[in-house]
């Protein structure tokens, strides 16, 4: 489970709008700086939401309309998995979609239904470069399991 690591940094946008969903323009901006997202890599979404841990209220950021936190968008997930052919994705929140945008978990079902994986609750993405690092994700593969903890760290050149 060692893959090239790509970090798409939207933390400034997430600070301004808690429900921010990463856009194709954010990925294209990354690609304009670093080249195409490499096939087979792991793409992590940096929102700095992990800095709210271990406060569960801050993580969920809930009000009368629901939970508010940043995440992926379906167009970006499809672009990354179908066109760039990435292996996996990850994010700092407890779900891959912004809190109020995907109540039926369509984005999570999409990722997992395409025989790929995602890792939730990543931390310290502010300490790794946008490209050039490797990610190591070690976890068991329980039969019929729906989720399990992972040990994840980056190797920085």
Which CATH number covers residue 85? 3.50.30.50
Model confidence at 104, in pLDDT bands (50, 70, 90)?
Answer: confident
Provide the domain count of the chain. 1
* DSSP letter, residue 117: E
Q: Is the pLDDT of residue 22 over 80?
A: yes
Those residues with Cβ within 8 angstroms of residue 109's Cβ, 6 or more apart along the chain or in another chain: none
Residue 96: the pLDDT is 80
Task: Residue 99: give the domain boundaries.
Answer: 2-155
pLDDT at 101 (0 to 100): 65
pLDDT at 105: 77
Query: pLDDT per residue over 137-152, tens digit each?
Result: 987 777 776 677 888 9
pLDDT tens track for 58-94: 988 989 988 889 999 999 999 999 999 999 999 999 8
pLDDT at 102 over 70: no
Of 125 and 141, the structure prediction assigns the larger pLDDT to 125
Cα–Cα distance measured from residue 72 to residue 90, given in angstroms and rounded to the nearest whole number: 9
Q: Could you tell me the pLDDT band of residue 128, with boundaries at 50, 70 and 90?
A: very high
Helix (H, G, I), strand (E, B) or coil at 87: coil
The pLDDT of 5-10, averaged and rounded, is 98
- List phi, psi (to 5°) of 51: -70, -10
């Amino acid at each position: 489970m060692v893959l090239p690591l790509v970090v798409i940094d939207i933390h400034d946008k997430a600070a301004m709008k808690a429900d921010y969903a990463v856009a194709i323009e954010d990925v294209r901006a990354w690609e304009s700086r670093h080249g195409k997202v490499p096939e087979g890599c792991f793409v992590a979404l940096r929102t700095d939401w992990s800095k709210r841990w271990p406060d569960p209220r801050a993580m969920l950021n809930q009000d009368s309309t629901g939970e508010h936190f940043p995440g992926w968008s379906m167009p970006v997930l499809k672009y990354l998995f179908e066109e760039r052919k990435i292996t996996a994705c990850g994010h700092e929140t407890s779900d891959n979609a912004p809190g109020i945008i995907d109540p039926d978990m369509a984005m999570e079902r999409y990722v997992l239904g395409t025989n790929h994986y995602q890792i939730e609750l990543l931390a310290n993405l502010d300490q790794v470069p946008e490209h050039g690092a490797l990610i190591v994700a070690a976890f068991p593969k329980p039969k019929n399991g729906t989720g399990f903890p992972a040990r994840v760290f980056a190797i920085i050149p």
